[in-house]
Amino acid sequence: MDIDDPVFLINYIFLFGPAPNPLLKADCDCSGGDVPVDIDDVVHLINYIFYDGPEPCDVDGDGVPDC
């Protein structure tokens, strides 16, 4: 996980870039809902990468953080 990951999500959310595949793996904060990937996921990743914030959640339950 590095800065390319939040940049990828920003491109998807704001610039109509390619969608993460599968989309639900990019729900880094496990918020779910109608729009599973949003700016909160970008902020979550940036906090994790630069500020020792919480790990991305484990969406698929395999014991490894997704995103």
Q: Does the global pTM surpass 0.75? A: yes
Give the residue extent of every domain in the chain.
Answer: 4-51
Give pLDDT tens digits for 15-49. Answer: 999 999 988 889 999 898 788 899 999 999 999 99
Burial of 4 (0-12, 13-18, 19+ CB in 10 A): exposed
CA 56 from chain centre, in angstroms, equals 7
Q: Please give the angle made by the CA atoms of 8, 12 and 17, to the nearest 5 degrees.
A: 95
What is the DSSP code string of 14-35? HH--PPPSSGGGG-TT---SSS
pLDDT of 3: 93
